[in-house]
Amino acid sequence: MRVVDLIEKKREKQELTKEEISFLLSEYLKGNVPDYQMSSFLMATYFNDMTADELLEFTTIMRDSGDTIKFDEIDKFLVDKHSTGGVGDKVTVVLAPVLAALGMGTAKLSGKGLGHTGGTIDKFESIDGFKFSNTRDELVSVANKTGIGLMGYSDKIVPLDKKLYSLRDVTGTVPSIPLIASSIMSKKLAIQSDVIILDVKVGDGAFMKDIEHAKELAKRMIEIGKDAGRKVKVVLSNMDEPLGYSIGNANEITEAIETLKGNGPEDLKEIVYAIASLALKAKGEIKELSEGKSKIEEVINNGSALKKLSEFISESGGNGNLVNDYNLFPQPKSMTEVFSEKDGYVSKIKAEEIGKAAMNIGAGRATKEDIIDHAVGIKILKKVGDKVNKGEKIAEIYYNDDKNVNNSRSMILDAYVIQSDKVDKQKAILEIIE
């Protein structure tokens, strides 16, 4: 079997056999297929797609390229929620304790952020002393005590994905829907769970810029899950403005805590409620998603979800009392205000630009080597649909180093699109696909 023949076959839109896909990927992982040949194959895939059989085999081999993790010792209905990433996305911080309070468990791998703001790990690491589980046994121990099991990605989990992603990144093939689907689902299939719920962000601050491509990605991931014998649900959520009001790390944890106290922003609540309701339905506790709201509100109103977060922080080495004392978070030295330069209504907030403005002051990473400043961040004060007067405050920048503050201010002003005509508020949930 020759690699060049497989490249030509994909170029000519012919379906590859399981044996051919297995040969290509296993030989590439061993280092026997050069990057230039795999690059050609990825580009042919970018233009010619994959069949359902090809995609399942491709994803399965990626999953089996490393360790798989089972959680037989956790006696809970396990939910693996994944987000494709977005600006101000602190859903996991709210969702995991809500699910725990509802009697379910979270067992998922979380990542650090690159670009924009931090990932879930970065957000929690803004808590002094907090350490994520490094091993499966540590995760099981914390999950059994709190219902929340989060662990950082390991090089031993789907190593083939890491190798392929690095190549996709430099060959212009990152946006390929089958390659995105296999990348996400190979990691989801490597971890035991009872249901996989995918939050696919759509819009300016997301990887998927339009609803049609997002739907296609959702369809392919559900298809992979079904063929692999796993339940997969998808929420398409709006990222044409940041989620919530806080963008950063410590400030996003604070906003998440406020949400667990019943004071959260409506768009964040909408997404958390939708995902938690999908989990309840998958478990069989409700028949219609609308039935989930009262159950979720009960665990927020009685404080049990907040207590779960406090317990998780304590079990992970942090001070669980910070849910009541925000001074325990790292504090920024300075704050500057951003004022609107025109009258009108906010018609759009370019989420990616806000994310870059936060990264500029240290809240995110431009390179893997960059160190995140957990104390800094941005708070936006106006959302899409809000009326704004010239000279009215629209954002606050919290920082420790002032060298990029003016640049961040300019980026925030550029991100706010203000028009004279009244604008409707945006929906956080665009569609739910089961």
Which sequence positions are flagged as catalytic? Answer: 82, 161, 168, 183, 187
CA 347 – CA 265 distance, rounded (Å): 18
Instruction: Tell me, rounded to whole angstroms, the distance of Cα 393 from its chain centroid.
Output: 29
Question: Are the CB atoms for 253 and 261 separated by under 8 Å?
Answer: no
Question: Are the CB atoms for 402 and 335 separated by under 8 Å?
Answer: no
Eight-state DSSP code of residue 31: T
CA 219 – CA 202 distance, rounded (Å): 15
- CA-nearest of 169, 114, 127 to 375 is 127
CA 361 – CA 357 distance, rounded (Å): 7
- CA-nearest of 164, 219, 229, 179 to 59 is 179
CA 419 – CA 262 distance, rounded (Å): 32
CB proximity list for 120: less than 8 A, separation 6 or greater: 92, 93, 110, 111, 150
DSSP string, 114-131: -SSS--HHHHHTTSTT--
Burial 393-426 (b: 16+ CB within 10 A, else e): ebbbbbbeeeebbeebbebbbebbebeeeebeeb
